[in-house]
Structure 1
């Protein structure tokens, strides 16, 4: 198992556009070998004294924090998917218009699980 994680902020007014883009990316990821995709919209993101999620993504007033992950069977499957993404393969039907968030403030990382429980 290999996990790709993202954190970003989205203008509240762009929530529906973000959902549409996230649905496209979830379907694209599953079609390229992902096992699970999860996206979550801010419900309670407290302000921290030194750091917090809002500071991490430099979210201005009026933006909500979004976080999520994609679980891949292994790093190789994700690497193949990233290669396809880089070539634009399968993006012909991506929602039109500007992205619903500022991609320059997106935080992305890849992780090897240390512990899993539950599902």
Structure 2
């Protein structure tokens, strides 16, 4: 059964190009290590909620945009092995000036229930 890693974060709007460059590099590395697809979505129509929302979940600041991303894997064992290699890849580890505040990033792994 396929497996998905999901990510939700806030990126300063001024850092869009820098984030996109980093995301392209990360996508290449994920795909080299077994991922089947990578998606990065730049928030365009993300409504504010009255109780909770994507904005409040990532503590979005006024100059930031919500980004929603996911990485698809064929199964969890492939994901587990692939993520170990991704996390050890020097191309990602050499990024010292992240274009967003990683402390506010939300992430998790998900077993697929429906996929069409």
In structure 2, runs of 5+ residues without a counterpart are none
**8 A contact 1:5–1:109 mirrored in 2:** yes
**Count of residue pairs the alignment pairs up:** 115
2:107 aligned partner: 108
Segments of 4+ in structure 1 off by > 3 A?
92-97
**8 A contact 1:21–1:94 mirrored in 2:** no
- In the superposition, the TM-score normalised over structure 2's length comes to 0.92
More helix by proportion, 1 or 2? 2
RMSD: 1.5
**What is the correspondence of 1:23-102 to structure 2 with a 5 Å cutoff?**
23-86=24-87, 88-89=88-89, 91-92=90-91, 96-102=95-101
In structure 1, runs of 5+ residues without a counterpart are none
**8 A contact 1:24–1:94 mirrored in 2:** no
**8 A contact 2:33–2:86 mirrored in 1:** no
- In the superposition, the TM-score normalised over structure 1's length comes to 0.90
